Amino acid sequence: MGDLEGKIAIVTGGGLGIGSAGAKELASQGASVTIMDIDQNAAESTVSTIRDNGGTAFSAIGDASLSLDCERTVSECVSRFGGLDILFNNVGIQPISSYTNVENTTEEMWDRVIAVNLKSRFLMAKYSIPEMRIRGGGVIISTASVQGQQSAYLVPAYAATKGGDLSLTRQMALDYAEDNIRVLSVCPGGVDTPLWRDSVISSGTEIENAIIESGKTHPIGRLGAPEDIAKVVAFLASDKASFMTGTFVNVDGGIMAKGSWA
C-alpha cells in the first residue's frame, strides 16, 4: 500500500517536466490522478505511462489561466473519481520574451505570465476547496521557486508570480486550516525540464555544457531532476506531513543556503 492509496489528485501542467513527474509519483503511491494540461499529447503521454505502470489517471485538457477550464477540470475529476483530496498547483511558464526589465515587458506578456503562474493557483484552489471540504480536508501544494525568495536579473513577471505564490500559500493555509486543508509550496532550484532547456537554448548556450555549468552553481553539484521535486510533493501530500501547512520547502541542491555568495 502506498502513502496515497485511495486519494484523488489533480496536477496542473502535468504533461511535462515537474508536473509529469509529480503525477507519476502521486499515482505510484496510490492516488488516482487527473492530468490538467494545455498540451493534449503531453497530457496523454503522462496518462499512458501511469496506466502502463498499473496506476489510474485521465487527462483534462485546458488552459489553467481560464476560470471555465479550471472549473471543468475539477468537476471532471470529481465525476470520474468521486472527489478530490490533493491539488498540485504546478503549471508555470517563463517565455523567452519575458526575460527583460519592467520597461520592456509588454502588458500582454505581464498579464499572461501572471495569469498562468498565479491566477491559475487561485482559480484551481477556488474550485477545489469545496470538494476537499466534502471529503473532510485536503492538501494544496504549489510549485513556487527559489526565485520567490531571492532575485535573479531580468525576470520581473516570473519573479512576481513566485513571490505571490508563496504569499497565497500562507494566506490559504490560515483561511482553511479549520477545514483540515493544508497548503504548502515547494521551491525548486534549477531543474532539467523542457522549460529550463528552452531558456538555455534561447540564450544560445550549448545544452550539455549548460547542464554541467548550471549544476555547479548548486552546492550539491548538479541540476535537479523532476523526480527530485516529485518525491517531496508526494511526501507533503501524505499524512506523514500532517503537521505542515503555510510554509515552503526548498528542493534546490543548496542554492538558498548559498545565497548570493559565489
Ligand X SMILES: NC(=O)c1ccc[n+]([C@@H]2O[C@H](COP(=O)([O-])OP(=O)(O)OC[C@H]3O[C@@H](n4cnc5c(N)ncnc54)[C@H](O)[C@@H]3O)[C@@H](O)[C@H]2O)c1
Catalytically active residues are 158
* Per-residue binder mask for ligand X (CB under 6 A), 163-192, x = binder: -------------------------x-xx-
Say how many C-beta atoms besides its own lie within 10 A of residue 67's C-beta.
14
C-alpha cell at 108: 500582454
- Return the SS3 of 49: helix
Q: Show the beta-strand stretches assigned E in 113-203.
A: 138-143, 181-188
Chain residues 222-251 in contact with ligand X, contact rule CB under 6 A: none
Minimum distance between the CB of residue 141 and ligand X, rounded to whole angstroms?
A: 11
**Is residue 13 at the binding interface for ligand X, with CB under 6 A as the rule?**
yes
**Is residue 34 at the binding interface for ligand X, with CB under 6 A as the rule?**
no
Question: Contacting ligand X (CB under 6 A), which of 8, 17, 34, 183?
Answer: 17
C-alpha cell at 64: 489553467
Contact 12, 36 (CB under 8 A): yes
C-alpha cell at 86: 490533493
Contact 30, 7 (CB under 8 A): yes
**Beta carbon nearer to ligand X, 5 or 259:** 259
Question: Contacting ligand X (CB under 6 A), which of 23, 27, 64, 140?
Answer: 64
* Per-residue binder mask for ligand X (CB under 6 A), 83-112, x = binder: -------xxxx-------------------
- Return the SS3 of 181: strand
Q: Which stretch binds ligand X (CB under 6 A): 48-56, 61-69, 73-81, 95-103?
A: 61-69
Contact 71, 95 (CB under 8 A): no
Q: Which stretch binds ligand X (CB under 6 A): 48-56, 62-70, 149-157, 170-178?
A: 62-70
Measured CA to CA, the distance from residue 11 to residue 37 in angstroms comes to 8
Residues that bind ligand X (CB under 6 A): 12-13, 15-19, 37-39, 42, 63-65, 90-93, 116, 143, 145, 188, 190-191, 193-196
